[in-house]
Amino acid sequence: MSLDVRESVPLAPLTTLGVGGPARFFAEAGGEDAVLDAFRFAAARGVPLFVLGGGSNLLVADRGVDALVLRVRVRGLQIVGANGGDGDGQGPRLLVRAGAGERWDDLVARAVAEGWAGVECLSGIPGDVGATPIQNVGAYGQEVAETIAEVRAIDRATGATTVIAGADCGFGYRDSRFKRAWRGRYVITAVTFALRPGGAATIRYPELQRALAAPLGGAAPPLAEVRSAVIALRRGKSMVLDPADENGRSAGSFFMNPTLEAGAAAGVLSRIEAAGVLAPGEAIPQYPAGGGRVKLSAAWLIERAGFAKGTRHGAAGISTRHTLALVNRGGATAAELIELARRVRRGVLDRFGVALSAEPDLVGFAPGEIADLVGDGTGQGG
């Protein structure tokens, strides 16, 4: 076996939150053979296997993770083909395959530099390529579901390599089959994106549109300009990695924006109106989420439930720049972050009847420790 397995490896430095205990076993896989070695090692030791990406969407328990934690380091970025497009009038596509261990933002920077449209609004997001299909990474009007042509993965049950079409991944808002029916089944080793050479940037998100002063229906600005504008917006919300930023140690948004069924949404909206939290003439932020569902803003609900930016619990806190990010102010424990998250969730539930679900992966916890925080994002739950 060529896999170099180390014991008791601290995980906090491998995550953007910077909290949590060690991995019982830790290894890095630079190729698919090493991933298979990891399966064998985990089976022989009778421990679960946990795949670690860039660690940017992860909260590790203080006791650590009793598993083989595998960092997938499969590299490479290649053009693997082209096609005529989807008949959507947006022109031909270039198929670009990236190893799961490539940094996501390196791929975006390359695409923008080459003039390949399709991922420019996803600029400045930390983490690795291989994690993007799992939660269907999205921001500023784009999500990876729009461009993922194929996901290459190894089935943990059989060790067989398989290629899954993007259309079969069951993508939804921060959701895919990898989080549901296929949970724990595959290790993703590469992702192929269908990008639009010479294509126009996607300007859908009102805040981005304002930042670019892009005329409605007019020509879209160059991809590089969109990338810079997105990074500036993210920086303003402390959502880019920056060691000098006091809000910098976070896992991005800690909660999903709840998507409620129409009936439930109507009840919540009238409860908000009755709660007396609206300024005169103020509208409740809400967005159509497909299938008659309504997406509410978790950040807004949290603030109106009485949690101000900068609220603290020990060394854990709510970011001073964006209510949805919980941050490690230096030396925070996972227990403090969980307790703060629980208070926030309870406050929003008591006030408005909406149950928020955690957005990052919570790893190493006993199921009972986090059951209330892990939900399906529909706003339901006690």
Which residues are annotated as catalytic?
A: 174, 253, 359
3-state secondary structure the chain: CCCCCEEEEECHHHCCCCCCCEEEEEEEECCHHHHHHHHHHHHHHCCCEEEECCCCCEEECCCCEEEEEEEECCCCEEEEEEECCCCCCCCCEEEEEEECCCEHHHHHHHHHHHCEECCHHHCCCCCEHHHCCCCCCEECCEEHHHCEEEEEEEECCCCCEEEEEHHHCCCECCECHHHCCCCCCEEEEEEEEEEEECCCCCCCCHHHHHHHCCCCCCCCCCHHHHHHHHHHHHHHCCCCCCCCCCCCCECCCCECCCEECHHHHHHHHHHHHHCCCCCCCCCCCEEECCCCCEEECHHHHHHHCCCCCCCEECCEEECCCCCCCEEECCCCCHHHHHHHHHHHHHHHHHHHCCCCCECCEEECCCHHHHCCCCCCCCCCCC
- Does 299 bind ligand EPU (CB under 6 A)? Our answer is yes
Q: Of 257, 311, 328, 357, which one interacts with ligand EPU (CB under 6 A)?
A: 257
Q: Which is nearer to ligand EPU, 48 or 285 (CB)?
A: 285
- Does 41 bind ligand EPU (CB under 6 A)? Our answer is no
- Does 303 bind ligand EPU (CB under 6 A)? Our answer is yes
Q: Which is nearer to ligand EPU, 70 or 299 (CB)?
A: 299
Q: Which is nearer to ligand EPU, 3 or 17 (CB)?
A: 17
Region of 3-11, 95-103, 249-257, 271-279 interacting with ligand EPU (CB under 6 A): 249-257
Closest contact distance (angstroms) between CB of 254 and ligand EPU is 8
- Does 140 bind ligand EPU (CB under 6 A)? Our answer is yes
Region of 110-118, 192-200, 212-220, 321-329 interacting with ligand EPU (CB under 6 A): 321-329
Site for ligand EPU in 213-242 (CB under 6 A): 237, 239
- Does 168 bind ligand EPU (CB under 6 A)? Our answer is no
The residue ranges that bind ligand EPU (CB under 6 A) are: 139-140, 205, 207, 237, 239, 252-253, 256-257, 285, 297, 299-300, 303, 322-324, 359
